[in-house]
Amino acid sequence: MTSSSTMTGQSADDTRFRAALEARLYNRRTPSRTPGAVVRPTSEAEVVEAVRRARRDGLRIAVQSGGANWSSVSLREGGLLIDVGALDHVRIDTAARTATVGPGVRSQDFAARLAAVSLAFPVGHCGVPAMGGYLLGGGLGLNWGHWQPACFSVIAARVVTAAGELVEVDEHRNADLLWLLRGAGAGFPGIVTEFTVVLQNRPRDTRVSTWWFGLDRIDEVTRWVTAASATLPSHVEVAVTTAGPTRDVLPPGDGVPEHLVSVAALAFVDDAEDALRSLAPLDHPPLPPLLHTDREAVPFELLHHGAEVAHPAGHRVASDTFWSDHAVHEVLPPLADLLARPPSGLNSVVVLMPGHGAPGTNQPLGVSAYSMDKRTLVLAFATWTDAADDTPNDTWLQEVVARLEPLACGHFLNEADTSKPDRHRRSFSPENWARLRALTAAHDPDGVFHGFGHDHGPR
């Protein structure tokens, strides 16, 4: 590569080269996979040139925008890594209620820019993810039960194809690529240089209520959440989360157990009265909580702070996810003994219900590769700091996975353990998986992009 922003000729044991690669990754437990070269384009034209040169040199391409993907999917062995993090422009059209964003724009920055003009977007629960990987993976963001996953807000894009051509994408031009970029993740056969998305009104009075209970009451708590959620409006989002002794909230001691289960409800509303009505179905838990915060006001653009406390950066991480047709009280209590003895106090399991227990209500049909929407989404996280603890945390996670797999009917691609061969396929409906594979082969017949595989060496 000839661009001044490209690193070439570096060997796998070159310390500076490796450090530069890992600096952009969320997970401190990085894979040994090392690309042969990296280019960090600062313009669309440089992306085009990078793809064309890779084609001529017979190199496979991987793409990185920068975010919170724990499996570091952008690192592939050999070939060329194109880091589009510098393409972080934002243009907001307040009259049309749309925005054009580069793939390198971070969720927290996009939310702040929109808040300044009283608009919003279903950005990530964490502020770190960049729009590229986030939108391509589906985008399960804030208020997704009401606004739908963020990929459905994409109405147009500019894409550099596997042939090295820059094309416009919308419902009338290259519509197959629009279908793919709404959820195909690392399987997308091109590089998006910008997205055009539809915006929402910024919620004027976002409220957060939380309840904390001992883990030993998990059955009662999850049954309460299952029943109460059925009557919640779609603009209320509920998460049930387990927490260990290293949590920041309600530290153990003085009668507070080491392991807890929490319920957090976010209401995206207009005023305090609306929040009172919207969260009312959760006002009567089955037992007194150890701690309860009631309808706290948190600006929409600052909601990511809570997620980042629960899932701090700079740690070693392993994860897996499961869509299930079972209710929260059927998937979480069977894990209670494992949740009470994690090797790390940061390990947790999170359960979300986008349709409040009503599956298949959260997405339009036929317009996207993204195609999983079941009753519950279970996310299991192992998080630790010391490499010496890799094995016990891996073992713990696999025990959790073994309990969840019989209850699962699919996975969420961006947080799934894609080292398992079935995870890519099972992150899509069977018909969408077949169409995704056919379209990928049609748009990248020479295998220029790594796609879902971890291919080695030249093409």
DSSP tag of 334: G
Q: Which residue has the tokens 């000839």?
A: 2
Q: Which long-range contacts does 92-100 make (Cβ < 8 Å, 24+ apart)?
A: 92/117, 92/119, 92/199, 94/119, 97/198, 97/199, 98/155, 98/196, 98/197, 98/198, 98/199, 99/196, 99/197, 99/199, 100/194, 100/195, 100/196, 100/197
Helix %, strand %, coil % for the chain, to 5?
30, 25, 45
Query: Pick from 32, 38, 35, 31: which is nearest to 7 by CA?
Result: 38
**What pLDDT does residue 12 have?**
47
**What pLDDT does residue 409 have?**
95
Q: 38-64: buried (b, 16+ CB within 10 Å) or exposed (e) per residue?
A: bbbbeebebbbbbbebbbeeebbbbbb
**Alpha carbon distance 263, 441 (integer Å):** 44
Are 354 and 144 in contact by the 8 Å Cβ rule? The answer is yes
**What pLDDT does residue 154 have?**
98
Q: What is the CATH number of domain 90-202?
A: 3.30.465.10
Asked whether the predicted pLDDT for residue 172 surpasses 60, the reply is yes
**3 state DSSP class of 92:** strand
Residues of the chain with CATH 3.30.43.10: 6-83
Kindly state the average pLDDT of the residues 190-206: 97
Rg of the chain over all Cα atoms, to the nearest angstrom: 22
Residues of the chain with CATH 3.30.465.10: 90-202
The encoded tokens of residue 386 equal 């010391």
Query: Pick from 235, 239, 245: which is nearest to 225 by CA?
Result: 239
Q: Which residue has the tokens 């307040």?
A: 94
Higher pLDDT, 143 or 15: 143
**Alpha carbon distance 222, 262 (integer Å):** 10
Distance of CA 177 to the CA centre of its chain: 21
pLDDT digits (tens, 9 = 90+) for 57-105: 999 999 998 776 777 888 888 899 999 999 999 999 999 999 999 999 9
Kindly state the average pLDDT of the residues 360-366: 73
**What pLDDT does residue 360 have?**
60
pLDDT digits (tens, 9 = 90+) for 7-53: 444 454 577 777 777 777 778 888 888 888 899 999 999 999 999 99
DSSP β-ladder status, 90-93 and 98-101 = antiparallel
- Where residue 357 falls among pLDDT bands split at 50, 70, 90? confident
- Where residue 361 falls among pLDDT bands split at 50, 70, 90? low
**What pLDDT does residue 1 have?**
40
**3 state DSSP class of 120:** strand
Query: Pick from 309, 289, 215: which is nearest to 257 by CA?
Result: 215
CB count within 10 Å of CB 306 equals 17
The encoded tokens of residue 3 equal 């661009």
The rounded percent of the chain whose pLDDT value lies above 70 is 95
The encoded tokens of residue 261 equal 């289960």
**Alpha carbon distance 383, 394 (integer Å):** 10
DSSP β-ladder status, 376-384 and 316-324 = antiparallel
**What pLDDT does residue 171 have?**
97
**Alpha carbon distance 342, 348 (integer Å):** 9
| Topology of domain 6-83, CATH | 3.30.43
| CATH class, 207-415 region | alpha beta
**3 state DSSP class of 430:** helix
**Alpha carbon distance 79, 37 (integer Å):** 7
Residues of the chain with CATH 3.40.462.20: 207-415
Asked whether the predicted pLDDT for residue 227 surpasses 70, the reply is yes
